[in-house]
Structure 1
C-alpha cells in the first residue's frame, strides 16, 4: 500500500471517528423517532451540514482517492465541530504535499538515536526530572531525577525505553501517578497525531499493535481517535520513598539543533 493511499484511508478513518462522536442534538438535528443505527451523525447528515453531496462525502470517508479542496476541508471542519487541534490535524492529513515533507523523518529518527553528547550532559545537570524523547516517545537521554520520579530507564533495554510503553505497562508508575487516566488520555491523543502523520514509518504501526494487545486501556483510548497537540501538561506523582504526592508541570522544548522531532521534557514542581 502506497503512502498516498494510506493517507486517504487515514483521512477517512479520522472523518468517521469525528462523525461517530458528534450527537445530532449538538448540531440542531431533531430525532424523528426512527431508530438510529450509528453512534453519532449519519453520513448524509454530515454531507448536508458541510454542503456536500452524500456520495462525495461517503467517498472521502471510505478513503477513496478523491481530490478535495481547502474549502471542502473548511466546511467539514465546521460541520464536525472540530477543535483547533483537531482542525489542524485534519488539514495535515489532507495536505497533498505532506508525505513529501515527512519523507525524511524516518531517517531523522534514526539519526536522533545518536544524540549530541552535549545535550546528554545538559540533561544530567538539570535539577528537575528531565529526559529527551522523540516523536515515537523513545527515551534518548535522562537524568537521575527522572529515574527517581518516573522509572529507572537505565535498567531497561532500549526497546522498552518508550514512554508510551512505560505509561501503560509499568504497574508501579501507574500506581504512583494519581491522575493517570487524565494524563494517559492526553498522551494517547498527542501520540495519535504523530502516528497519523508518519505514514512512511512502520515502527508506529508495530508499536500501536503491541500496545493494543498488551493493554486493554490503551486499546480503548486508541479507539477513540482523539487528537491533541503537545502543550504544558500536569501530572501528580507519589514521591519515591516518601509516598507524598508531588505535582509537576511538564514543559517541552522542541527542535534541538540537528535533531528535528526531538523534545526536552522537564518536570517542574508546582505549588497547588
Structure 2
C-alpha cells in the first residue's frame, strides 16, 4: 500500500542543488518531446533506413531551433547552461509544443530565477470544510499530490465513498487507477485517466525537490500497468473544465457533470477547489 498522507519534508537543499534538479527535469522533458516528433512532421526529408531511437535526432532539433547541436545536447543532458527566453521559445516551436506544453516548458525554464522548495499543504481550515459541505453537488479540495483534504457527501455518493476509506487511501490518482468501484462508476474512465496523468505530470515536474513524487509514481506504476503506460508518454495538460459521466448501480440514467477547478490564494498555491456542476440533458 502506498503511504500517501505522510509528509516527506525535503531536506535542506541549496540553490545549486535545486537548480541542478530543475535542469535535469528540463532535459528529460525536451527529450520526451523530441522522441514523439517524426522528421516528416517537422518538415524534414524522410531518411532511409531505421533510426536507432524514435523521433527527431538532437542535431535536427538544433537546426530547427537555430542553436548548435552541442548546446542543445547539453540542455537535454541536464547540464546547467545559460538559456534565454528567446532560445527556449525557439526550441518549443521546433518541437511543435501545444499551448499547455509550451506553458509547462516556460515553467521548467522559469526565466533562470532561483528555484524555491515549494511546500505541500496537508491541512485546511474549518471554514473551507464548511464551504465544501454546503455545496449541493460533488465538491472537494486537493493538493498537488492529489491528496483529498475535504469533500462533501455528494462525492461519497457519486465519485467514491472516501469517508469509509482509510486516510492513506484518499488520493484521487491512486483511486482512479486502483479502485474498481471508482472505475465502474466513471463511464469515460479512459479519457479522465489520460487527462489526470497529464495534469499530475505538471505537479511532478514542479516539485523536483520532493522525494514523495517519484516514490508515488514508482509505487503506482507497480500497482497499475495502465498508469505506467500513460506516465511514459510524458504528456502534460493544464487544468480546465472537464466533463465526466457517472453511472450508479441503482440509477438507470448516467449523470453528467462539468468539473471546474479553482486555485487557492498565494498562501496555498498547491490547493485546488474542484466543483461539479450538473450538465443539462440537452448538453450531455
State the TM bucket, normalised to the shorter chain: over 0.9
In the TM superposition, what are the counterparts of 1:1-272 in structure 2 within 5 Å? 2-95=17-110, 96-97=112-113, 99-100=115-116, 103=117, 105-106=118-119, 109=120, 112-256=121-265, 258-271=267-280, 272=284
State the secondary structure of the residue aligned to 2:34. helix
CA distance, structure 2, for counterparts of residue 267 and residue 125 of structure 1: 13
The 4+ residue runs of structure 1 with deviation greater than 6 A are none
Deviation at 1:243, TM superposition (A): 4.8
Q: Taking structure 1 as the reference length, what is the TM-score of the superposition?
A: 0.93
* CA shift in 2, pair 1:257/1:117, >3 Å: farther
State the secondary structure of the residue aligned to 2:234. coil
State the secondary structure of the residue aligned to 1:209. helix
Residues 42-96 of structure 1: CA deviation (Å, up to 9, x unaligned): 1111011001111111111111121111111011011000111111111111122
CA distance, structure 1, for counterparts of residue 216 and residue 50 of structure 2: 39
Residues 221-268 of structure 1: CA deviation (Å, up to 9, x unaligned): 010000111111111111252153111100112115853321111111
Q: Give the conservation status (yes or no) of the 8 Å contact 1:232–1:249.
A: yes
Give the helix-richer structure, 1 or 2.
1
Deviation at 1:176, TM superposition (A): 2.0
CA distance, structure 2, for counterparts of residue 81 and residue 15 of structure 1: 11
CA distance, structure 1, for counterparts of residue 50 and residue 214 of structure 2: 36
Q: Taking structure 2 as the reference length, what is the TM-score of the superposition?
A: 0.89
Deviation at 1:113, TM superposition (A): 2.6
Q: Give the conservation status (yes or no) of the 8 Å contact 1:50–1:75.
A: yes
CA distance, structure 2, for counterparts of residue 257 and residue 211 of structure 1: 30
Moved more, 126-135 or 236-245: 236-245
State the secondary structure of the residue aligned to 2:264. strand
Deviation at 1:117, TM superposition (A): 0.3
Q: Give the conservation status (yes or no) of the 8 Å contact 1:149–1:240.
A: no
CA distance, structure 2, for counterparts of residue 5 and residue 257 of structure 1: 26
CA distance, structure 2, for counterparts of residue 207 and residue 127 of structure 1: 32
Q: Alpha carbon RMSD of aligned pairs, Å?
A: 1.5
CA distance, structure 1, for counterparts of residue 151 and residue 240 of structure 2: 20
* CA shift in 2, pair 1:72/1:234, >3 Å: same
Deviation at 1:159, TM superposition (A): 1.6
* CA shift in 2, pair 1:218/1:243, >3 Å: farther
CA distance, structure 1, for counterparts of residue 255 and residue 90 of structure 2: 44
